[in-house]
Amino acid sequence: MKRIGLIGGLSPESTVHYYEIICREYNRQAGQLNFPEITLQSLNLQMLIPHFSRNEWDQVAAILLDALVRLKNAGAEFAAILANTPHNAYELIRDRSPLEILTIMDATSEALVRDGLRKVALLGTRPTMEFGFFQKHFASHQIETVVPDADNRKELDRIVWEELTHGMVRPESRAAARAMIGDLTQQGAQAVILGCTELGLLIHPEDSPRPLYDTTRIHAEAILNHALAEG
């Protein structure tokens, strides 16, 4: 299998889950004490936050490209970015990256197409919900996307950055997320996309009347499958 390169730290909470899913699933398949070879480039999230808030995706791209070069130099054979929001810069780095990038949008779109979905709710940070990289990919597969209203987008963004990225899960935040899901379900959403790699900490299957698509697990499993398929 190919050596996996991961850009993590965005946040550590989600990076831990990615690493565990990839390692445990490979071990389940291979048995004994077999685990995949992984190179991790962990970034300082605080360096990226100001660029997210100001829509400075060229600056985000520069940081990601530097990390990709370091992964390449460390022996990685392809790469994945372990967060949703930085994928807003994907089109700026796609043709300049020294490594193939397995994106979270493609992995999630494939899962939705496989299950025949046509309208989905998207939850995540404000950049993820508002700047369109997921919506663009979903639309290319004739999948409509609905998001919470402006006030709820702001609140969910706060929950992600002030609570979940620090490992905090508060009952009142879970209740707020449930209410958002209820509103989006009434708008016809057939499923709920957890479009932030920390949202799996907050929202569980029992919190939603529609199926949840956790982009962390979907992407992690796609990363492993890609590494194995290339062998």
**Residue 213, C-beta contacts closer than 8 angstroms, at least 6 positions apart:** 108, 111, 112, 120, 191, 192, 193, 194
Shared domain for 146 and 223, answered yes or no, is no
Are 97 and 115 part of one and the same domain? no
Report the CATH number at residue 58.
3.40.50.1860
pLDDT > 90 fraction of the chain, expressed in percent and rounded: 86
Q: Are residues 109 and 204 in the same domain?
A: yes
> pLDDT for 186-210, tens place per residue?
999 999 999 988 899 999 999 999 9
Residue 166 host element (H or E): none
Angle at 6 between CA 82 and CA 37, to 5 degrees: 135
- Residue 93 and residue 134 in one domain: no
Q: What is the chain's pLDDT, residue by residue, as a tens digit (231 residues)? A: 999 999 999 888 889 999 999 999 999 999 999 999 999 999 999 999 999 989 899 999 999 999 999 999 999 999 999 998 899 999 999 999 999 999 999 999 999 999 999 999 999 999 889 988 889 899 999 999 999 999 999 999 999 999 998 989 999 999 999 999 999 999 999 999 999 888 999 999 999 999 999 999 999 999 999 999 954
For residues 113 and 27, state if they share a domain: no
Distance CA 144, CA 140 (A): 10
d(CA 18, CA 136) in angstroms, rounded, equals: 24
| 124 and 62 in a common domain | no
Do 66 and 125 reside in the same domain of the chain?
no
Task: Indicate whether 97 and 120 sit together in one domain.
Answer: no
- 139 and 86 within one domain: no
Domain of 97, in residue numbers: 4-103+218-229
95/169 same-domain check: no
**Over the stretch 28-59, which tens digit does the pLDDT of each residue have?**
999 999 999 999 999 999 999 999 989 899 99
Residues 126 and 63 in one domain: no
CA 44 – CA 21 distance, rounded (Å) = 22
Give the pLDDT confidence score for residue 131 in this predicted structure: 82
Question: Which residues are within 8 A (CB) of 37 and not within 5 positions of it... i.e. 6 or more apart?
Answer: 1, 3, 4
* Model confidence, pTM: 0.90
Q: Which of 176, 172, 164, 133 is nearest to 14 (CA)?
A: 164
Q: Are residues 116 and 37 in the same domain?
A: no
What's the number of domains the chain is made of? 2
Number of H helices, E strands in the chain: 11, 7
